[in-house]
Structure 1
Amino acid sequence: MTNFFQGLLEFHFLQNALITAIVIGVVSGVVGCFIILRGMSLMGDAISHAVLPGVALSYIFGINFFVGAIVFGVIASIMITYIKGNSIIKGDTAIGITFSSFLALGVILIGVANSSTDLFHILFGNILAVQDSDKWVTITVSAIVLAFVVLFFKELLLTSFDPVMAQAMGINVSFFHYLLMVLLTLVSVTALQSVGTILIVAMLITPAATAYLYATSLKVMLVLSATIGACSSVIGLFIGYSFNVAAGSSIVLTAAAFFVISFFISPKQRQRKRSVQG
């Protein structure tokens, strides 16, 4: 413990890692709430993996990986929604086809890019390697995402809980679906450095699922999820740095531990057990 806090005072890279981890924990927790309320956990998984070809192409052409990742994330979300809305194929099938195709393309492009070390970090994360530029991009993108959530909170709330009523009220349900997909893509890209594409979905879903076990309103759920995401990031980074293990995986396992504990002690779970037993 002493080494970690001493390192925070001495090492700039650890300060960058801590700030970035907290920011990602907060924004992932917030967006994740809307994802699980809409039953779109698989979509989060698909988008987080679909950005991989964009990252590989960005390395090949020497541009910022944020650009390629965002483009491919948006393309994947549009493809999934189009296939689901214009065929007899169900949503989970469309997600599976798109997810596997983009992941396979990404693996091929990784070989073409010939930058396996850097792209390995994209797959599994390396938050201790976050540079100043990465930190500020993460903070900026996360601030934009949170600003959209605050600005369109009412519309996102209505379209998440009752899209039919939202449509009757004149709200463009499709627009807010695609907006959420774009926000999901942005969060997935910002989390690349910390937990990698493989584990992003865990940071999107686990804190939000934990908060759902306690919350009685969406606002409370958002605050709880953001707090759990931030705490998981800090504790996971501490474990990763102190015991010299993968920090991204430690963050995810910490979030999972919060969920497991909450699963057994949350009031909603206890009430459900009583109703089942009664």
Structure 2
Amino acid sequence: MIDALLLPFQFPFMQNAFLITVLIAPAAAMLSAFLVLKGWSLMGDATSHAVLPGVVLAYAAGIPLLIGAFAAGMVMALGAGFIQEHSRVKQDTVLGVVFSGMFGLGVVIYTRIETDMHLDHILFGNMLGVGAGDLWTSGLIAGAVALVLALVWRDLLAHAFDPVQARMIGLRTTLLHYGLLILLSATIVAMLSSVGIILAIAFLIAPGAIAFLLTRRFPAMMAVAVAAALLAGVTGIYASFWLDSAPAPTIVLALMTMFLIALLRRA
């Protein structure tokens, strides 16, 4: 009986899937707490979609896909910010237009070039196909993001609640604003090889939303968000083995289930 329960942990490809989830979940969950409090959930969604043209162009140019993804994410974030500051259009509208346009551009470019790169792997991830290089890259990026968030969370929290007050007490709000965008893009890059572009949004929003429903203090919120992301990640991958389903969507279903439970608990 015990051997049967531990069967998923005996395969190297399953071990890598579990490991990469453990590596990326803390950084994504910590960041999700800030995105939820700041009202930037759509920003995470937009950035995760907008990296597609960067990935495709990087592949065509023969440079690392992570560079193209990071550059595209920053172009989307900075471009949306510029349009918002110089027009009457609200942020959610700008983000919707910009990220859908960049995502469409990525699909068009993908169909026009000859490539053996699988679009499904970019969009939905390939957790069962990650290798040592993916583990190192994702781990280093996610670890750096988590470290930065742990060091400056108080400043980011002040900026999220009241940017004007944060500026009055001497915080460099512009640096915090664009620094958070950089961390967001870097986290999405870290998740490219596993969760994928489309499903990365679940890791960037759901853990923070779950923790927001269950806690009242921000340090506790970050801790609960990390725990929720890890639990959903490990549970989703484990369940996908027995259900013969893709791991990433199963993780998303686990996160949604946890959110509904937290929502019912607060009702």
TM range (shorter): over 0.9
Contact (CA 8 Å) 1:207, 1:225: kept in 2 or not?
yes
Residue 115 of structure 1 and its aligned partner are, at CA, apart by: 3.2
Distance (whole Å) between structure 2 residues aligned to residue 109 and residue 4 of structure 1: 45
Residue 5 of structure 1 and its aligned partner are, at CA, apart by: 2.4
1:178 counterpart residue number: 178
**2:196 is paired with a residue of what secondary structure?**
helix
Residue identity opposite 1:139 in structure 2: G
Superposition pairs of residues 113-124 of structure 1, within 5 angstroms: 113-115=113-115, 117-124=117-124
Residue 66 of structure 1 and its aligned partner are, at CA, apart by: 0.7
Residue identity opposite 1:40 in structure 2: W
Contact (CA 8 Å) 1:110, 1:116: kept in 2 or not?
no
Distance (whole Å) between structure 2 residues aligned to residue 142 and residue 3 of structure 1: 32
Q: Which runs of 4+ in 1 moved over 6 A?
A: none
Residue 118 of structure 1 and its aligned partner are, at CA, apart by: 2.4
Q: TM-score, normalised by structure 2?
A: 0.95
Distance (whole Å) between structure 2 residues aligned to residue 119 and residue 54 of structure 1: 13
RMSD: 1.5
Superposition pairs of residues 131-150 of structure 1, within 5 angstroms: 131-150=131-150
Residue 78 of structure 1 and its aligned partner are, at CA, apart by: 0.4
Q: Which moved more, 1:100-109 or 1:187-196?
A: 187-196
Residue 116 of structure 1 and its aligned partner are, at CA, apart by: 6.0
Residue 170 of structure 1 and its aligned partner are, at CA, apart by: 1.6
Gaps of 5+ in 2: none
Contact (CA 8 Å) 1:52, 1:103: kept in 2 or not?
yes
1:83 counterpart residue number: 83
Residue identity opposite 1:168 in structure 2: M
Is the aligned partner of 1:158 residue 2:158? yes
Superposition pairs of residues 1-278 of structure 1, within 5 angstroms: 2=3, 5-9=6-10, 11-115=11-115, 117-265=117-265, 269-270=266-267
**1:4–1:67 CA distance, 2 compared to 1 (3 A):** farther
Residue identity opposite 1:57 in structure 2: L
Q: TM-score, normalised by structure 1?
A: 0.92
Residue 125 of structure 1 and its aligned partner are, at CA, apart by: 1.1
Residue 3 of structure 1 and its aligned partner are, at CA, apart by: 5.0
Contact (CA 8 Å) 1:3, 1:242: kept in 2 or not?
no
Residue identity opposite 2:197 in structure 1: T
**Aligned pairs, number:** 266
Contact (CA 8 Å) 2:213, 2:262: kept in 1 or not?
yes
